[in-house]
Structure 1
């Protein structure tokens, strides 16, 4: 685990918001990971005549979509400073930056923040963990 530093700055982004996003990311990630067990991602089973099929996991799919949609909406509602801090927290949690490099991480994140931020974050396989680790590392 990364060593935390004494926080010398104030976050624009509420730490509880980051924790909520981390929880949503974990829920979404866990649902995706369970789909890939044994290589069976939402298998479609066709009947003998090919005109009927059973879609395994249809009920779960709707719930997953809501979780992902909520995550995307929450990220889209962040202002530029909050979005940059969220990305910097993820990068620190992932180990791309040390907590002492907070200013550099936020500056670099500000350059990367765009309309595809939620998709970029969701592409991180351990986003929930990295957000929590990043928060802990910066003392939030």
Structure 2
């Protein structure tokens, strides 16, 4: 499979996704597990060293926003395959639903991705289902 989205772009999403996932709620004091933090505070994120880092989220959103409608749908579909919502054999169906989500504007698809637990991992797993990987690509090698 040749993805519509350049492999280096997919890998950059994975890299930034990992950085984004490494953030914890801002009132995390290190004495509790992240699961013990109130859900109402989950929208405010900071890096584990308590340094606020909005630039990671902004960069990830910018990368996603720069994608074409078909490319954004493809990223969503890869993630759905990676999390098991669809099988690799159901790629056309996953792309059709992802295209419907991203048509008419990217906000819904970007929000879907940003709210996805373990975005980097599920994207990587979805790509692996099609024998695509980031081995040898930039910082992910």
The answer to whether the superposition gives a TM-score over 0.5 is yes
Equivalent of 2:128 in 93, 113, 136:
136
Q: Distance in 2 between matches of 1:34 and 1:103?
A: 40
Matched, 1:89 2:89: no
SS of corresponding position for 2:4: coil
Change in Cα spacing, 1:104 to 1:90, as seen in structure 2 (3 Å) is same
Equivalent position of 1:51 in the other structure: none
CA contact (8 A) 2:83 2:126 kept: yes
Equivalent position of 2:14 in the other structure: 22
- Computing the radius of gyration over CA atoms, which structure comes out larger, 1 or 2? 1
Q: Distance in 2 between matches of 1:19 and 1:33?
A: 26
Equivalent position of 1:105 in the other structure: 94
- State TM-score, norm by structure 2: 0.72
Q: Distance in 2 between matches of 1:33 and 1:24?
A: 18
CA contact (8 A) 2:80 2:86 kept: yes
Of structures 1 and 2, the one scoring higher in RCO (CA 8 A, sep 6+) is 1
- State TM-score, norm by structure 1: 0.73
Change in Cα spacing, 1:35 to 1:129, as seen in structure 2 (3 Å) is farther
Q: RMSD in angstroms over aligned alpha carbons? A: 2.3
Q: Distance in 2 between matches of 1:35 and 1:26?
A: 20
CA contact (8 A) 2:73 2:109 kept: no
Higher-helix-fraction structure: 1
CA contact (8 A) 1:90 1:127 kept: yes
Q: Distance in 2 between matches of 1:90 and 1:125?
A: 10
Equivalent position of 1:73 in the other structure: 62
Extract unaligned runs of 5+ from structure 2.
Answer: 43-48, 133-141
Q: Distance in 1 between matches of 2:25 and 2:84?
A: 23
